[in-house]
Amino acid sequence: MKYFVLFGPPGAGKGTQAGAMVERYNLCHLSTGELLRSEIAAGTPLGLQAKALIEAGSLVPDEVVVGMIESKFKSVKNVKGFLLDGFPRTIAQAEALDAMLSKNGESVTGCISLMIPDDLIHERIAHRANIEGRADDARPEVVANRVKTYHDKTEPLIDFYKKANRYHEIDGVGLIEEVRDRIFKKLDLL
């Protein structure tokens, strides 16, 4: 089983690229954002808790996200692996993922990191808010907090995965097809 972490700042194109990656490599796409949005839409207690945090631009607690991911690992069948999008976001989550996988003698296959500059992050998120109507993308102060949270809490994962020799950086600037080709060239080797 392969386990890929799809990494990058908000608006880097992770969601845009994930579908093609899933199709080409027979992966199950686990987007914590989508998992949480479905909980919010269903009005579950987890969803209500997550909604308040997301609207403030904060992260959902690790134990909640880790539990959702582990449940999906156990329940999804007939795939060659998983594409984790939005998880892990912190060193603690990466360590929890490693511990979860090592229980079954497995490990993260690779961290695919889509990188774009901060000015492009804001531009893409504003565009996404207009296209998809995502309220969490519409307020500049929430977006600014998400970018700051990414730099403060998530960027340390770069060194974490570099030390594990699992980090693969992809230039996320360019046409969707160009970025996709860069990703495929890397995944074909893993």
Active site residues: 14, 89, 128, 134, 146
Report the alpha-carbon distance of residue 50 to residue 32 in Å, rounded: 11
Q: Running DSSP on this structure, what letter comes out for residue 133?
A: -
Q: Are 25 and 17 in contact (CB under 8 A)?
A: no
Region of 26 please: left (phi>0), alpha (psi -120 to 50) or beta: left
Report the alpha-carbon distance of residue 88 to residue 97 in Å, rounded: 7
| Nearest CA-CA partner of 84 in 51, 107, 102 | 107
DSSP element (H, E) containing 3? strand 2-7
Cα maximum dimension of the chain = 44
Residue 167, beta-bridge partner list: 111
Write down the H helix ranges in 56-108.
62-75, 91-102
